Amino acid sequence: MSRLAKWKTAIQMVAIGVLIVGSAGPDFLPVVAIGETLLWLAALLTLVTGYDYLRAGLAHMTRAPPAAHGKSQHLA
């Protein structure tokens, strides 16, 4: 899912650039609408990738600790 997160970031950066240009962009393109659409797409991808990272994190936290291989974990 890391590749999807990278696409999300790229779309987000392009959307911000397009929105900064805003109404100063070419008249034949709906620049603001394009920027807003890209930003909404980035928000949707944030939810998807965020859920995937949450699932992976919870699986990591609930996994049993590795066996000690007979060695004591105490320092004293």
Q: What confidence score (pLDDT) does residue 46 get?
A: 95
The position carrying tokens 């004293």 is: 76
Alpha-carbon gap, residue 50 to 4, rounded angstroms: 11
CA 17 to chain centre: 18
Q: Structure pTM? A: 0.73
pLDDT tens-place string over residues 4-25: 999 999 999 999 999 999 989 9
* pLDDT higher than 90, residue 75: no
- Angstrom CA distances, 28 to 15, 21, 24, 67, 76, stand at 18, 14, 11, 65, 75
pLDDT tens, residue by residue, 47-63: 999 999 999 899 888 88
